[in-house]
Structure 1
Amino acid sequence: MVVLRLVVQVEVAAVPLIVVVAAISVVAVVVVVVVVVVVVVVVVVVVVVVVVVVVVVVVIVVVVVVVEIVSSSNSNSSCCYSKVKSTTHSLSEA
């Protein structure tokens, strides 16, 4: 009877140990999955922010270049027009 009781006690004590090990394993897996998801979300957010910043910078550069081209072409045409007008005026006086 004593041997039988020891075997039963060992088996009963072993079941909670297996449950504890399984619970710790499940918690560890859940923690790893949560950490991986958080890292992926952070990387995606960083990539989106970098892309948005690059697009905004490119748009600003394009707008500045277009404004400079338009303003320089307007000033050049008025400059050339005034030169042609003054030359024509001086020729008509002569």
Structure 2
Amino acid sequence: ILKQGFNELTGGIVIDENIRKEIIDIADRDFSGLLNKKKYEVYKVGMHIKLDVMISDKLNEEKIAKIIELKENVKKEIRKKYQSVEINCIL
């Protein structure tokens, strides 16, 4: 419990597999239809959730516009449970 608390306070990667899975499942519902090569990292500091989506797909303007739209959808869905959400799409 102390180690998990320390990781949360210092912005470490989420260790609680249930939280990590919940966030990734929400993101994957939207992004999986558009992106083939992606990896997720979930961070939690208090009630703030940070999701990094590392994208390896080749992108065009249309895909980038859709990613921006999906990012907002994912953020709204995660905000139903966590007030503070940050999503970074890393190309």
TM over 0.5: no
Relative CO higher for 1 or 2, CA cutoff 8 Å, sep ≥ 6? 2
TM-score interval for Structure 1 and Structure 2 normalised by the shorter chain: under 0.3
When the two structures are superposed, what TM-score results if normalisation uses the length of structure 1?
0.23
Larger Rg: 1
Name the one with the larger strand percent.
Answer: 2
Name the one with the larger helix percent.
Answer: 1
